């Protein structure tokens, strides 16, 4: 372990650390000496100011994504409302999952450096759940003395939770998840069969809130379809990319954000919809920023559903689902927005993703991946699991979540339509309720 820094943000004491972990866990065991090529795993440890020397129980936060870095502690919560509640009870460990944040990063520069497409594909497979969980178990055993810890998973963090319960349940004292119970068995086609109808429903809800935007969005799409529109970074703006603005429709206040974005789309006159008018610089900048690709988020998106030896390759599951639904066509009106889905055009049109393109084509035909879930182990699970299921979740279908939970031992859930996918981040009472429910059942009696 390398201690990098110790400091305070208002009300919180923070330590920065990093350790070496194997790039490839095959042939290595968490807790043992590491062999082969290594990468850096960065993590922060946070507690309330004034409690630095208390022997607090540990809570490991499992970040959403995939390809997401851990949250950065802010004085006022900063979009992570759960953290203040968690710090009342725990010392919180905030890792940057391998490939993200201050851990050894993966982006276009790394892909270009590797060069060979087969080597790139093999490298990317090392950044999925089977490796992420082994990193965390290695961290627990080597840095935290083998103490069991509680986990809190948001979105993809819930997928990681079920991987942890499958592979190393002995490391866990209790688990919390929010909007992130994967379907087991995992299948990308099944996921998109449920989520594309929800994307359509969310779009129509948006237009119901702002009916004038049917015409305005259509006018922007028609102007973009004429060609010759570029974003400030040089990427072409296409109708496909415009449709991805709906990626945030599963969180609040995304409807308002997109409404006001289109409100200032046109330059001429009073800014009313006019396909003869150029699109404003401000609009193009906001589109670029809103649709900017996180380096690992899109390349790994569909492979989080790859569990062991597959019966068939994933083969661009979202694109196939979209092609089967003509209402999502670029020429359809009203224009429908897409959500959390990757498409092959991204890896041609977006300069940040182009270095991943050849590797993606290889991975989309691959059927050999690491094992991430053990259905038998989950059925006999004894680690208390408290899940919050958002009934109207656009990203992780609630019916699939509940189906999985029905087959996970010692699991409990709270199903609610009070929140969108980001309830944990926006309302501190969400984790407070989860904690109290687990406490009341005695699930945290052995947490030390």
* pLDDT value at residue 1: 64
Q: How many CA atoms lie within 13 A of 211 on its CB side?
A: 1
3-state SS assignment for residue 35: coil
Q: Distance of CA 141 to CAs 27, 55, 171, Å?
A: 17, 17, 9
Q: CA 1, CA 142: separation in Å to the nearest integer?
A: 8
Q: CA 318, CA 300: separation in Å to the nearest integer?
A: 13
**Measured at the alpha carbon of residue 253, what is the angle toward residues 419 and 333, in degrees to the nearest 5?**
105
Q: Decide if 399 contacts 57 (C-beta within 8 A).
A: no
pLDDT at residue 78 tops 70: no
Q: CA 33, CA 20: separation in Å to the nearest integer?
A: 10
How many residues does the structure list for the chain?
Answer: 448
Q: Decide if 12 contacts 48 (C-beta within 8 A).
A: yes
* pLDDT value at residue 77: 59
Pairing of strands 38-48, 91-95: antiparallel
Tell me how far the alpha carbon of residue 269 is from its chain's centroid.
41
> Would the pTM count as exceeding 0.95?
yes
What does residue 167 show for φ and ψ, rounded to 5 degrees?
-95, -40
What does residue 158 show for φ and ψ, rounded to 5 degrees?
-70, -35
Pairing of strands 91-95, 149-154: unpaired
Mean pLDDT along residues 301-325: 98
Burial class (CB in 10 A: 0-12, 13-18, 19+), 310: middle
Provide the 10 A C-beta neighbour count for residue 132: 28
DSSP 78-128: TT-THHHHHHTT-EEEEE--TBSTTSSB-SHHHHHHH--HHHHHHHHGGGS
Mean pLDDT along residues 72-83: 82
**Strand order, beta sheet including 385-390:** 2-9, 12-22, 38-48, 91-95, 58-62, 149-154, 172-178, 385-390, 411-416
* pLDDT value at residue 74: 87
3-state SS assignment for residue 327: helix
Q: How confident is the model at residue 439 (pLDDT cuts 50, 70, 90)?
A: very high
pLDDT at residue 374 tops 90: yes
Query: What are the chain's domains?
Result: 2-186+372-441 (3.40.50.1820), 188-363 (no CATH)
pLDDT at residue 75 tops 80: no
3-state SS assignment for residue 41: strand
Q: Decide if 382 contacts 410 (C-beta within 8 A).
A: yes
Q: CA 291, CA 294: separation in Å to the nearest integer?
A: 9
Q: How confident is the model at residue 80 (pLDDT cuts 50, 70, 90)?
A: confident
| pLDDT per position as a tens digit, 93-118 | 999 999 999 999 999 999 999 999 99
Q: Quote the mean pLDDT of the chain.
A: 96
* pLDDT value at residue 412: 98
Provide the 10 A C-beta neighbour count for residue 257: 15
* pLDDT value at residue 45: 98
pLDDT at residue 447 tops 90: no
Mean pLDDT along residues 160-165: 98
Mean pLDDT along residues 291-311: 94
Which residues are within 8 A (CB) of 177 and not within 5 positions of it... i.e. 6 or more apart?
152, 153, 154, 157, 158, 161, 385, 386, 387, 388
Provide the 10 A C-beta neighbour count for residue 116: 11
| pLDDT per position as a tens digit, 206-252 | 999 999 999 999 999 999 999 999 999 999 999 999 999 999 999 98
Pairing of strands 38-48, 385-390: unpaired
pLDDT at residue 76 tops 70: no
């Amino acid at each position: 372990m390398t201690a990098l820094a110790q400091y305070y943000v208002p009300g919180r004491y923070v330590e920065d650390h990093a350790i070496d972990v194997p790039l490839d866990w095959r042939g290595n065991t968490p807790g043992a000496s590491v062999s082969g090529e290594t990468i850096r795993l960065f993590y922060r440890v946070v507690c309330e100011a004034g409690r630095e020397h208390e022997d607090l129980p540990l809570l490991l936060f499992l970040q959403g994504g995939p390809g997401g870095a851990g949250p950065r502690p802010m004085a006022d919560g900063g979009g992570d409302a759960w953290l203040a509640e968690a710090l009342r009870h725990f010392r919180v460990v905030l890792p940057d999952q391998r490939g993200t944040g201050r851990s050894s990063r993966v982006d276009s520069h790394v892909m270009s450096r590797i060069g060979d497409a087969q080597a790139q594909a093999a490298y990317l497979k090392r950044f999925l759940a089977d490796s992420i969980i082994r990193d965390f178990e290695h961290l627990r055993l080597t840095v935290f003395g083998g103490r069991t810890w509680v986990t809190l998973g948001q979105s993809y963090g819930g997928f990681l939770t079920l991987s942890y319960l499958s592979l190393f349940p002995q490391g866990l004292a209790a688990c919390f998840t929010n909007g992130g119970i994967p379907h087991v068995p995992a299948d990308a086609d099944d996921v998109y069969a449920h989520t594309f109808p929800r994307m359509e429903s969310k779009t129509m809800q948006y237009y119901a809130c702002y009916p004038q935007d049917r015409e305005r969005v259509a006018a922007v799409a028609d102007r973009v379809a004429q060609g010759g529109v570029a974003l400030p970074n040089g990427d072409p703006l296409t109708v496909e990319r415009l449709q991805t603005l709906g990626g945030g429709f599963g969180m609040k206040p995304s409807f308002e954000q997109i409404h006001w974005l289109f409100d200032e789309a046109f330059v001429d006159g009073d800014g009313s919809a006019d396909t003869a008018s150029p699109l404003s610089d401000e609009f193009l900048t906001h589109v670029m920023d809103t649709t900017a690709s996180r380096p690992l988020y899109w390349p790994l998106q569909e492979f989080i559903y790859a569990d062991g030896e597959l019966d068939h390759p994933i083969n661009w599951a979202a694109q196939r689902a979209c092609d089967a639904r003509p209402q999502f066509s670029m020429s359809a009106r009203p224009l429908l927005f897409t959500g959390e889905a990757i498409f092959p055009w991204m890896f041609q049109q977006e300069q940040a993703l182009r270095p991943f393109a050849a590797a993606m084509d290889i991975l989309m035909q691959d059927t050999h991946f690491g094992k991430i879930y053990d259905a038998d182990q989950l059925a006999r699970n004894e680690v208390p699991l408290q899940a919050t299921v958002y009934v109207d979740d656009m990203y992780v279908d609630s019916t699939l979540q509940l189906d999985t939970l029905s087959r996970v031992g010692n699991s409990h859930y709270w199903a609610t339509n009070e929140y969108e996918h980001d309830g944990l981040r926006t309302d501190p009472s969400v984790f407070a309720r989860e904690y109290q429910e687990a406490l009341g059942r005695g699930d945290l009696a052995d947490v030390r």
